[in-house]
Structure 1
Amino acid sequence: MINSNPAPAKLHGRNKHLQGYDLKRLEKANPNLKAFTFVNDFGKETIDFADPKAVFELNKGLLKADYKLKFWEIAPNSLCPAIPGRADYMHYIADLLAQDNNGQIPYGKKISVLDIGTGSNLVYPIIGAQEYEWNFVGTDIDANSIHFAEVNIARNIWLKKKIQVRLQTDRSKIFSQIIQPNEKYSVVVCNPPFYKSREDNWKSSTKKFQTLNKNKDKATVQNFAGHPNELWCEGGEQAFISKMIYESKDFQQQLGWVTTLVASKEHLKPLIAILEYHKAARIEIIPMQQGQKISRILAWKWQ
């Protein structure tokens, strides 16, 4: 049986960012942000969301102000995710776990989370550890991202007991060589690479940049950056999640819920078909919305 709820009109009810950004407060947490704030034509203080440096400093301010970080840096040109949307994922995962816990959200180290493609930013582990005190293992195929992630952990003492990271040396695998024989995970989270190629990514980035930027002659800049492995893979999002489904079946004794973001609604039907064909015990589709952006979480359990 597939459970799916209607799309929410706004961020999750427990999201710290429901009321928008208090830039004055964020500037106190991250003074570097002040250089990128300005008052727009409507008399509201804001930033240029087409400027990757401004977006980075905004997210850094959010992590320092709301998630108790003392230090946060990411690898050059790596993905700088929007914190409110990433926080929503963690809150919906908490609700999902509550289904198997008599309706109560489980807190603490008894919940072990595997983050596939954690990147240098470590955003899911940081938010999940801070909000719910869960333990995380973050994986990535990029050694430089792992290095920066380890620096972020080392520079924030409270993260050391909550988060560890592992390098996936076999780029053709997702769970193999990462999940150890004695390990079990309550839930897997993932923000998969969406695009099929560099060209596919650049077409989308150009369209988005021109929407955000009034100067149409200005050269395209990705406001969120991103390494190749974070943005595209052969076959794109659908192929990556399909592989994730097949591999997760091999580790079903060690995995509880397996979840992933699905950016394209059109990808849901073929992915669900695979899960149903292989008799997944439970399938959930959890819609999310941040402003005009609508996405969803696909979740499944084999047992």
Structure 2
Amino acid sequence: MPCHNGQVTGDGRLVLAGAPIGQAGDVSPRLREVLESADVVAAEDTRRLRRLATELGVEIEGRVVSYYDQNEAARAKELLETLKEGRTVVVITDAGMPGVSDPGYRLTRLAIDEGITVTALPGPSAVTTALAVSGLASDRFCFEGFPPRKPGERARRLASLAAEERTMVFFESPRRLASSLAAMAEAFGPDRQAAVCRELTKTYEEIRRGGLGELAEWAAKDVKGEITLVVAGYAPGEGEPDLDELVAEVDRRVAEGVQRRLAVAEVAKQAGIPKRELYDLVHRRSPTP
């Protein structure tokens, strides 16, 4: 077992500790124990850790160090050396599980490569909590983290997910929520069902469910708080154009004086199908003008 008097017995151990996402009372007795006994506690925000320890009535005897996005690469190497000395290092983030859009992956990978024991204290996770309360299918899902900030990159990422059949879970900043929902409505369709989970487990928890277009309009009213977004997966056949309606639209435009080839090109572009495919269909079903 590790101790704090400079003497080390046993092998090093990395513990990934799940932190409460809103209520301190959600922590497990094991988290209390490991915070009190660890040689080093690497925290995403040391002030939040101290606040949590106070709320729990826990006295952290080991060394507390910061471990966040900007110093993760350098700090991971330092912590690896501590693990090699046979000490216990606990990684804890502001909320949820380390490594899930939070620091933790780098050190975990380094420790595994060195043959050091890596274990976890299961705890609250915004990903699975949001999935559970969303009302959307949860038998198969994927976690997509934060969408890209730049509109062009975000559009390309979402376009690549348009045919994803699993339920998708995203994190998003409240400042970008409205624009991300609008981009999703464009990529997935405004009627694709989703749930915006705000301030999960906290006093002002709110779950908004509905179509992406409807949610985008709601989010434009300045939403605040921690956001987890759950989006239904693609259902085969969803959003596929009605070919009869497309042919009728081409015929309507031709009747108004638009050249058939131009009408086909315009309608095909709006429907997102190859114009050759629509032209062949129109040619078979419509009389020659």
Smaller-chain TM-score bracket: under 0.3
Q: How does the TM-score come out when normalised to structure 2?
A: 0.25
Q: How does the TM-score come out when normalised to structure 1?
A: 0.25
- Between Structure 1 and Structure 2, the one with more helix by share is 2
